[in-house]
A = this chain, B = another copy of it.
Amino acid sequence: MNIGQAAAASGISAKMIRHYESIGLCGKAKRSTSGYRVYADTDVHVLRFIRRARDLGFSTAEISKLLALWHGRRPSAEVKRLALKHVADLNRRIAEMQEMAGTLQHLAAHCHGDERPDCPILGALES
């Protein structure tokens, strides 16, 4: 498989596959005589693992740890710890954004939204 096929099969762009290789997230791909990267099914399994982890919002550093656990002794305690830490991080960011959205929603509800210059949203930003 060339990188294009591996990209299609894994759902990661060729650009990102090269990037992940360059930062050491996945191992270096074998090369054909002409220098093309060559991928086997096992390599695509790894790439799919990476894509699913990425879709769950894990950073590359976290994915790196997950990969090591996956390929190693896989103690589920450590995996669970990583996952719950990530959940906590997500929840923290969710709460931050909910507060922003709530504030703005409230301000917008009190904004008549016509052509008058008096606007509670601008008022809140300037006060």
A94 near B: Cβ within 8 Å? yes
- Hey, which bits of chain A sit against chain B, CB under 8 A? 45, 48-49, 52-53, 55-57, 66, 69-70, 73-77, 79-81, 83-84, 86-87, 90-91, 93-94, 97-98, 100-101, 103-105, 107-108, 111-119, 121-122, 124-126
| B111 close to A49 (CB less than 8 A) | no
Q: List 6 A-B contacts (CB under 8 A).
A: A74-B119, A75-B115, A76-B114, A76-B115, A87-B105, A90-B104
Evaluate whether A126 and B80 lie within 8 angstroms (CB atoms) in the complex, with A91-B101, A98-B94, A101-B90 already known.
no
Chain B residues whose C-beta falls within 8 Å of the C-beta of A84 in the assembled complex: 104, 108
